[in-house]
Structure formats: structure tokens, C-alpha cells
Structure 1
């Protein structure tokens, strides 16, 4: 409400990414010889794979419009001041920006 310039709020769903957890479990499986522990790790790995296939995260993105670099910095500072503890803003890396642009242009695709 306090931000008066033009913005666009984009909401998208992305699949949950459990790749880091899966790699960690696979590394633990290679390091152990305990059969009971390996069975436990296999079950946990299956759970993570199922979560990755079925669950989606709903993410919100804020698109801010500006005329030049000076205005960009001013608006970023203003937005950061206006955020509360319930809503945190962060910048996106290039890979995430590419995924968002792809999904915006291909609505029926699954990333």
C-alpha cells in the first residue's frame, strides 16, 4: 500500500527440489555397511523422490519497473524499507530468472 510506483506481482508454482538431500543420502549410503541403516536411507530416498514428483511450491515474484539505474537503486532501497518480517525480499540468480521467463512464456510446461 505504501509503494506508489508501478509493480507487478507474479505467482507461480514450481516443483520442490530435493536434489541436495538426495545427494547427501546417497553419499551416506556409500559410506556405511550397516544393512539396517541402508534400508532406512533407501526409504528416506524414496520419500524424497516422491516428494519431488508430487509436491509444488507456490512462489511470488515482484516485478519493479524503472527508467534508469539511479531510479532502480532508489526503488530497491524503498522496497526493502517497506518490507516486514512476514514478507522478505531477495534478489534472484540468473538461473532462477531464466526458469521464470521460460515458465511465463510456456504456461503448460513443467520445469
Structure 2
């Protein structure tokens, strides 16, 4: 690559490293970028009161948080490896020939889904001007949206997953290696 192209990339994506202490990426100017995954919900089958409560939580967050944020949507390959392993094990242990066709059909369906289906995931990026502001921002996020695995709206991400998201943002045509779902 030419030096001009490299400089252009540095301007577009100014990340210079990862800080494991804060689980964030830092930029050359001292600012940090926090990344959380938005927990998706089934709005069709959810309780209307729960949906309304989530809307109130998002509204409270938008009213109280005044700094820059960005919502990123990405499509990742669907990973059906665990389900395929389960049905292949059932196929080997199957004694009834009437179930053999059904199990083979299930395995083929899972193989087709893995190659043709994408999983849509949403991420919330917080742009913080200094490392000292991160605890205050994290406290605000925790109090309004919540971070964790229960009824919270956000969940923390591992470093490897964040790197995959940044790689995909920087290389739109790159293929992402399928990974197992953390849920």
C-alpha cells in the first residue's frame, strides 16, 4: 500500500490499540471507544409491557447521555455446528429406520442454513474523550440500559469479537470466520 492510502485509513479508523483494563480500544489522541452488543428481542411474541419498558429505558438513556454514540448493524454467518453434531449423533444411534429420513433431512437443513443464512447483530459504540471518563460512562450505561445476561439491554463483548467487528467495518468485502454463539 502507498503511504497516502495508509494515512487515509488511519484517518477513517484511528484505533491504535486495545486496553484490557477498560475493555476498550484507544485512539492516537487519547480517546477511547467502548463497544457493547445490543441484546436482540423477539418483539412479535414479547409482552407489550416489557416492550414499553424497554422503550422507556432507551428514551431515558438518550435524554441523559449527551456524548457521541453510534449504532452499527452487521451480518455474520450463522453457526449451526452444535445442532449438526447433535443430529449426526442421533443418526448414528438411531435404531428405527422410519426416523432415518427425518434425521437426514434435519442435518441437510442445518447445513443449508449454515451456508445461506446470516445472523443480524447490533452494536453500540461509545466515544469517550479520555480514559478517566470511562467509569462515569459505564455507570450511566449500567444504570439506564444495563449490562449483563438477564433483562439488560446490552451485553459486554470479548476482545476477539470486537476485533472481528472492527475488521468487518474496515474490510466490507472480507469474509468473517464463523464463530460459536455465546448465548
Give the TM-score category using the shorter length. 0.7 to 0.9
1:98 counterpart residue number? 163
Q: Point out which structure has higher relative CO (alpha carbons under 8 A, 6+ apart).
A: 1
Tell me the residue number matched to 1:37: 99
Q: Which runs of 4+ in 1 moved over 4 A?
A: none
Q: In the aligned structure 2, how far is the partner of 1:96 from the partner of 1:55?
A: 19
May I ask how many residue pairs the two structures share in their alignment? 110
Alignment of 1:1-111 (within 5 A): 1-2=62-63, 3-66=65-128, 67-68=130-131, 70-83=132-145, 88-111=153-176
Note the aligned Cα RMSD (angstroms). 2.3
Deviation of 1:82 (Å): 2.1
**Secondary structure of residue in 2 paired with 1:90:** strand
More strand by share: 2
TM-score, normalised with respect to structure 2: 0.53
Find the aligned partners of 2:80 and 2:175 in 1 and give their Cα distance. 16
Give the CA deviation at 1:32: 2.2
CA distance in 2, matches of 1:17, 1:87: 24
Q: Measure how far apart 1:83 and its partner are.
A: 2.2
CA-CA distance at 1:35 after TM superposition: 2.1
Question: CA shift at 1:87, angstroms?
Answer: 7.4
Report the secondary structure of 1:65's partner residue. strand
Q: Could you list the runs of 5+ residues in structure 2 that have no partner in the other structure? A: 1-61, 177-183
Structure number with the higher helix fraction is 1
Q: Give the structure-1-normalised TM-score.
A: 0.82
1:77 and 1:31, CA in 2 relative to 1: closer, same or farther beyond 3 A? farther
